[in-house]
Amino acid sequence: AYDLFYKLGNYKDSKKQMDNTKIEMDNAIIETQISNLKNINVGDVIKFGIYGDEDIEWQVLDKKDNEIFVITKYIYSYEQYGGCDWKNSSIREKLNSDDVVFYFNKDAKAMIQTTNVIYKDENGAEKNTADKLFLLSVDEYNKYFKNPSEAKFTPAKNNTGYHPSCWMLRSPTSGLLRKVECVSGVDGEVFNSIDICDDDYVGVRPAMWINLEKYN
């Protein structure tokens, strides 16, 4: 049906029909993805949601009862951190807004949990936010990637091709020159990469908790 509407070009409401058909196709794909979320274990790679015309692949980092903690297997965008701390950063706002490039249907959205995300402000005080999608902290990175070589990865094909690239964490360094902690795509080591208020773009791998019971 999608191909037929595409061939019609601008004829009458063919564009609208194409969009509706695409949504129906994506919803069907996501329903299949959800139905396959059985017997998931730490270390598995699952498909959950749509990015463009591709399934989004997530690596399972943790599992507690009927919830799993996942991070994208690949970089899906390159963004600025944009702010003095996580709460006020532009990357946090983008990940939790309608501008995020990932598509989840209503059933998938219901499964994504709101997480109490802990961060440190520019004075080193511990604070928290409530987010659906977020970046790992340095502590979480060290907890889930005990072997740095496991964090080496390849960007998604949609971006700049297949080559190693660094990706940012949500933890800025303390002190006068605050930089974002990043993970090297070459060796998986954490390093201070960019000033948080400059114009550099760094790879983003969102993380989230999924409640498997919400789809029963």
Task: List, for residues 70-127, the tens digit of each pLDDT value.
Answer: 999 988 888 888 887 899 899 999 999 876 778 999 999 999 999 999 998 777 788 9
Reported as a pLDDT band with limits 50, 70 and 90, residue 211 is: very high
DSSP helix/strand/coil, 115: strand
Residue-level pLDDT at 171: 85
What's the CA gap between 20 and 72, in Å, rounded?
Answer: 27
Q: What is the DSSP letter of 40?
A: -
Give the global pTM.
Answer: 0.83
Residue-level pLDDT at 7: 40
Q: What is the DSSP letter of 151?
A: G
Average pLDDT, the chain: 81
Reported as a pLDDT band with limits 50, 70 and 90, residue 193 is: low
Q: Which two tokens stand for residue 89?
A: 């950063």
Q: What is the rounded average pLDDT of the residues 151-177?
A: 67
Residue-level pLDDT at 81: 87
